[in-house]
Amino acid sequence: MSDQDNPSTDFIRQIIQDDLKSGKHNEIVTRFPPEPNGYLHIGHAKSICLNFGIAQEFGGRCHLRFDDTNPAKEDTEYVDSIIEDVRWLGFDWGDNLFYASDYFEQLYDWAVTLIETGKAYVDDQNAEEISKGRGNLQTPGTNSPYRDRPAEESLKLFKEMREGKYGDGEKVLRAKIDMAHPNMNFRDPVLYRIAHAHHHRTADKWCIYPMYDYAHGQSDALEHITHSLCTLEFEHHRPLYEWFVENIDVPATPRQIEFARLNLTYTVMSKRKLLQLVSENHVSGWNDPRMPTLSGMRRRGYPAEGIRNFCHHIGITKYQSTHDVGVLENEVKQVLNRDALRFMAVLDPIKVIVTNYPEDQVEEMDAVKNPENPDLGTRKVPFCRELYIERDDFMEDAPKKFFRLKPGGEVRFRCAYWLKCEEVIKDDTGEIQELHCTYDPDTRGGENPPDGRKVKGTIHWVSARHAVDAEVRVYDRLFKKENPDAAEGSFLDHLNPNSIEVKTAKLEPALADVEIGETVQFERLGYFCVDIDSTEDTKVFNRTVPLRDSWAKIAGKS
C-alpha cells in the first residue's frame, strides 16, 4: 500500500473531524516535540507520521519543537540529527521550528505568578525526601515542612535560585496541589530544579530549568497547538497538563490525546538502552545499520516511503501491542521491489571454468534493470570463460530436489547460457577450488535449447575477468530474542553474536558506479545499500533486507 493512499479514520482523526465540524477549531495545529538527548528511532517515526500527516490531511500545520529543558543530556549533535531525520522522512515544518528554551522567560514569569497566587512554593527538601513524602498508590503523601512558606519568601528564594545562589538539588519549586490526590502526578509536582549545566542554546544564562510536565503544556499553548498528541505513558499526566493550562493565563487551550507507542520484535526502543548500546560499543554508533534509529535505517538502505507505509499500515490505537519487524521489512521490500535496480553479485565465490568457451572471447548479455519497471530497459553484463558463482549454488552430493549446479547436472546461468558441470577440482585438503563446466551455445540469453531438454534451476554469476571486489556487510537482527526487554537477565544478554557478517564479494562491473546511499537488489540475495564507509578503491554494501525471511522459518519451528 502506498503512503499516498488516504489514511483510514482512527479515533484521533475522528476527534479532529468532529472539532472542525463543530467549529471548535478553524485550523489544526499539531507538533512533534523531541528531546534532543539522542537520535530518533522507528517509534518516533510513528509520532512524526501522525503529527505531520494530520496537519497535511486537514490543511493545518505541524511544528517541530525541541524539548530542550535538560541541558546535561542534550547536544546540538542530536538537534542536527533530528532535523535531518524528519526531513528525510519526508516532512517539512516551514517556519515553525521552535525550542522550549524560546519560552524560558515566559515560563519563569508564569511560575512567579503561581507563587504569588499561592499555587507554588520553594521546597528545601532533597530529591529523596520529596520522593518519600509523596507516598504511594495506597498511602497519601505528607506535606513538605516548607509547603506553607509565605509567598514573599518563596518569591525571594526562587529569584535567588535563578541567580545561582544555590547548588544543584538544594531547592526546587513545587506546585501546591494535593498531597493526598489519587493521581500521584498531583502530589505537589516539581516545576523547576537547579542545574548548573551549559545549555546548547542559552549557554550559561540559566541555572534553573522547568520540568517537562510544566513546560510542555505551556509551550503548546504559546504555539496555539490544537491537538497535543502523546503516547500512552502520558495519559496519567494529562490531568496535570490541564491543571497548568487552567491555572495560568495562557493564550490558547490545547487538548492532549494519547495513543499507543510503537513496539517492534527483536528490538529495544528505550533511548536509555540505545545510548547504552552506543556508549558500550555494542554497535558502531547511533547510525549503526542494526540500530532501530532512523539514521541507522537510512544507512542500511530503508526507503523513507517504506517506513511511512509501515506507520500507516499499523495504524493508531489506544492498545499496546508489539509489531513483527517482518511487517516493516515487507513494507521496505515492496518499495524497493518497485524502485531498486537489479545487479548480480556473488558473496561467497567459487570459480567456474567454461572449458569449451573461447579463452579470449567476451560477450555482453542483456539483463533487465527492473522487471517491475520495463521502461528502465536493460543493462549489459559481460560473460567470459571464467566466472564466479555462489558456493552454495553447487553441491557435490546433491539430493534429488537440489536444482542448482551439481556434477553431471545442468543449470541456466541467468541471461547467459546453460552450463553443465563436468569436473570438480579440489585442493589437497579436499576444498573445492574450481568447477569445470561446458556451455551450450544454442542457449544464449537463457533460452531453451532446440532439442527440447529442460532445466529447473537458474543461478546468478559474475564474470571473473570483470568482477569488482567489494566489502559486503550482511546484517541480521540485533537480538536473538523476540522481546529482549522481557527475556531473562539483561537485554544485553540477548544480543545476536551473528548480527553482522563481513564478506569480500565479487560484483558485476556496473556496481562500481552505484552512489553512496543508493539501494539496489543483488539478484536472488536481497537488497543492499552503498555505505558511507565506501572509498574510491572499495565499495562497501550493507544488506538492507534479504529477499526471504529466514527468521520466519526459525519461528515456525520453535
Active-site residue set: 35, 261, 271
What is the CB-side half-sphere exposure of residue 355 using CA atoms within 13 A?
Answer: 11
Judged by DSSP in three states, 109 sits in helix
CA dihedral 549, 550, 554, 556 (to 10 degrees): 40
Q: Of 295, 283, 301, which Cα lies nearest the Cα of 78?
A: 295
Report in angstroms the alpha-carbon separations of 422 from 184, 352, 386, 428, 436: 78, 11, 15, 20, 6
Query: What is the 3-state secondary structure of 152-172?
Result: HHHHHHHHHHHHCCCCCCCCE
- Distance between CA 205 and CA 152 in Å, rounded? 24
State the DSSP code for 413: E
β-strands 526-530, 519-522 pairing: antiparallel
DSSP string, 338-400: HHPPEE-EESSEEEEEETTS-TT--EEEEEES-TT-GGG-EEEEEE-SEEEEEGGGB-TT--T
Q: Which residues of 143-174 are buried (b: 16+ CB within 10 A; e: fewer)?
A: ebebeebebeebbebbeebbeeebeeeebbbb
Cβ-Cβ contacts under 8 Å for 23 (sequence gap 6 or more): none
**Which amino acid is located at 64 in the chain?**
L
- Distance between CA 212 and CA 210 in Å, rounded? 7
- Distance between CA 113 and CA 209 in Å, rounded? 17
Q: Of 359, 330, 345, which Cα lies nearest the Cα of 388?
A: 345
Q: What are phi and psi of 309, to 5 degrees?
A: -65, -40
**Which amino acid is located at 2 in the chain?**
S
